Amino acid sequence: MMLRLVSCTLCLLLFSQLSLWCVLATSAELDGEVQIEVLFKPEECTQKSKRGDLMNVHYDGFLAQDGSQFYCSRSDKAGHPQWFVLGVGQVIKGLDKGMEDMCPGEKRKITIPSALAFGATGKDPVPPNATVVFEVEVYSVSRGPRSMEAFGQMDVDRDRSLTKAEVKAYLKVEYEKSGKPRDDPFYEKIMADIFRKSDQDSDGLISAKEYNIYEHDEL
Ligand SMILES: [Ca+2]
Ligand SMILES: [Ca+2]
């Protein structure tokens, strides 16, 4: 409960700094491009994010027109940072684009025109044709699970499908490589996210076909 209060106070602080974002949004709308402002970049950067990477990120979303907040991953649901695969349509296009080449620990303010966000129809509570602004903070970047190379490494029994045990073993190795081993609940959370998004037929396995479903998606 306390954590949640702190989270929302953080969101409110962000909320108070929005007037500058509105200026940025106006120019973004003119050229229809994603605008990126780097707020913080760590000196050490061992791994920059690229398409197919598994990202762990906190992000807060605001409407450019009046600065009102429509999404806060710090208070939404369990309040934990969100897991998603970059560049494959698990987040809006503007975030898939705007979060490329990010280092773990980096913070960005990303202004996204409606065409690369929620479009002409909007998505409640985002109105139609709305430019949105996201403040993102990256906690971790790890390779895969979308590269075919990663699939091969994960599928240790070579049956062309991934069990939870196979994916988990892979993630553990990846995190230990980066010097940040985690506890079991941490991996369980990632696994739940990955399987919810990838195991289309809910049989508890990610088949090669399910794994490849985004392979030819273009932004
Ligand atoms: Ca397998
Ligand atoms: Ca499946």
Token look-up 């590269």 returns 147
* Of residues 78 and 93, more confidently modeled: 93
- What distance in angstroms lies between residue 163's CA and the mean position of ligand 2's atoms? 9
- CB distance 15 to 62 below 8 Å: yes
- CB distance 64 to 22 below 8 Å: yes
- What distance in angstroms lies between residue 150's CA and the mean position of ligand 1's atoms? 12
Going by pLDDT thresholds of 50, 70 and 90, the confidence category of residue 66 is very high
- The mean-pLDDT minimum among 19-33, 87-101, 192-206 falls in 19-33
Rounded Cα distance between 188 and 185, Å, is 5
The pLDDT of residue 30 is above 70: no
Going by pLDDT thresholds of 50, 70 and 90, the confidence category of residue 22 is very low
> What pLDDT, on a 0 to 100 scale, did the predictor assign at position 212?
66
* Of residues 213 and 159, more confidently modeled: 159
- What distance in angstroms lies between residue 176's CA and the mean position of ligand 1's atoms? 22
Encoded tokens for 211: 């794994």
> What pLDDT, on a 0 to 100 scale, did the predictor assign at position 79?
62
- What distance in angstroms lies between residue 200's CA and the mean position of ligand 1's atoms? 17
Residues 6+ apart with CB under 8 A from 130: 63, 64, 65, 114, 117, 118, 122
Q: Which among 121, 104, 94, 83 has a CA at the least distance from the CA of 41?
A: 104
- What distance in angstroms lies between residue 111's CA and the mean position of ligand 1's atoms? 41
- Mean of pLDDT values over 82-108: 91
* Of residues 194 and 12, more confidently modeled: 194
* Domain annotation for the chain: domains and CATH numbers: 2-143 (3.10.50.40), 147-211 (1.10.238.10)
Q: Which among 111, 105, 99, 101 has a CA at the least distance from the CA of 40?
A: 105
Q: What is the DSSP letter of 57?
A: E
- What distance in angstroms lies between residue 206's CA and the mean position of ligand 2's atoms? 4
- What distance in angstroms lies between residue 197's CA and the mean position of ligand 2's atoms? 10
- What distance in angstroms lies between residue 156's CA and the mean position of ligand 1's atoms? 6
Q: Which of 58-67, 78-87, 168-177 has the highest mean pLDDT?
A: 58-67
- The mean-pLDDT minimum among 21-25, 37-41, 118-122, 174-178 falls in 21-25
Q: Is 171 exposed, middle or buried (0-12, 13-18, 19+ CB in 10 A)?
A: buried
- What distance in angstroms lies between residue 180's CA and the mean position of ligand 2's atoms? 29
- Per-residue pLDDT of 99-127, as tens digits, reads 999 999 999 999 999 999 999 999 989 99
- Per-residue pLDDT of 153-199, as tens digits, reads 889 999 999 999 999 998 888 788 767 778 889 888 888 888 988 89
The pLDDT of residue 26 is above 50: no
